[in-house]
């Protein structure tokens, strides 16, 4: 089926399936839906497509970070233009809310290992947490693994439930890229569960847990810094 025919199947007013999801199901890029009116240049379409690709890979990026990425690629474009494209395509950077992870009384709590510890390089400590993201029609949960030293987002997953599965999936995806000496989290039930801690123990990774929500230890601080740079 041609792109034009598939684009004709999009239902912007469908309340059950978002335009973004419809594009995924039809194998369309959002730029194909929003950006083929009369007079639009091929160059502009290519830029829209690249903005969409960057956002899909880095959903924490706002217009400033996307503009910086484009400039590193040799594409000179103003931030206002990037903002306009993002707005027209319905792209919004992830803005985190406070952590929702809750403690489970039946799971083992591991000691906090980062007190007075000097972290001098990458892969010394990774941190994780759960937050929720407000969307146009509700919200979803986000978990991510971040390298403490470099603040690199090693992995992330989104889910519509708080089940441990998506946290374990994010952890396993991160461990495919490397392994830290220490893995730090709060004492939420997802992170104290046997599935989660067992994955770390099998890799001989030291487990650190912080129950007091220290600002530097909580991943929410890292998310906030990423958002503020946008």
For residue 216, pLDDT over 50 is answered with no
- pLDDT for 215 equals 36
Q: What pLDDT is stored for residue 217 in this prediction?
A: 41
Residue 38 has pLDDT above 60, yes or no: no
Is 216 strand, coil or helix?
coil
Tens-place pLDDT, residues 130-182 = 876 666 666 678 888 999 888 888 999 888 887 889 999 999 999 999 999 99
Q: What is the CATH number of domain 125-229?
A: 3.30.420.10
Question: Looking at residue 230, what is its pLDDT?
Answer: 43
- Residue-wise pLDDT tens digits, 1-27: 666 666 666 666 666 677 677 777 667
DSSP 72-130: HTT----HHHHHHHHHHHT------------B-TTS--PPP--TT----STTSEEEEEE
Q: What percent of the chain has pLDDT over 70?
A: 67
- Statement: residue 75 has pLDDT above 80: yes
């Amino acid at each position: 089926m041609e792109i034009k025919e598939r684009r004709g199947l999009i239902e912007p007013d469908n309340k059950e399936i978002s335009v973004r999801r419809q594009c995924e199901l039809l194998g369309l890029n959002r730029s194909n839906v929003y950006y083929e009116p009369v007079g639009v240049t091929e160059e502009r379409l290519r830029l829209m497509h690249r903005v969409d690709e960057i956002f899909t890979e880095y959903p924490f990026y706002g217009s400033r970070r996307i503009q910086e990425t484009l400039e590193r690629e040799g594409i000179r474009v103003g931030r206002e233009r990037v903002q306009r494209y993002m707005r027209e395509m319905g792209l919004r950077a992830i803005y985190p809310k406070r952590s929702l992870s809750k403690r489970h009384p039946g799971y083992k709590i591991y000691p906090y290992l980062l007190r007075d510890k000097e972290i001098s390089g990458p892969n010394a400590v990774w941190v994780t947490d759960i937050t929720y993201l407000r969307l146009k029609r509700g919200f979803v949960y986000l978990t991510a693994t971040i390298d403490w030293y470099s603040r690199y987002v090693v992995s992330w997953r989104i889910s519509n439930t708080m089940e441990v599965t998506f946290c374990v999936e994010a952890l396993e995806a991160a461990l495919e890229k490397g392994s830290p000496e220490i893995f730090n989290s709060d004492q939420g039930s997802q992170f104290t569960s046997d599935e989660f801690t067992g994955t770390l123990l099998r890799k001989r990774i030291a487990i650190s847990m912080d129950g007091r929500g220290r600002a530097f230890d909580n991943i929410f601080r890292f998310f906030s810094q990423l958002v503020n740079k946008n």
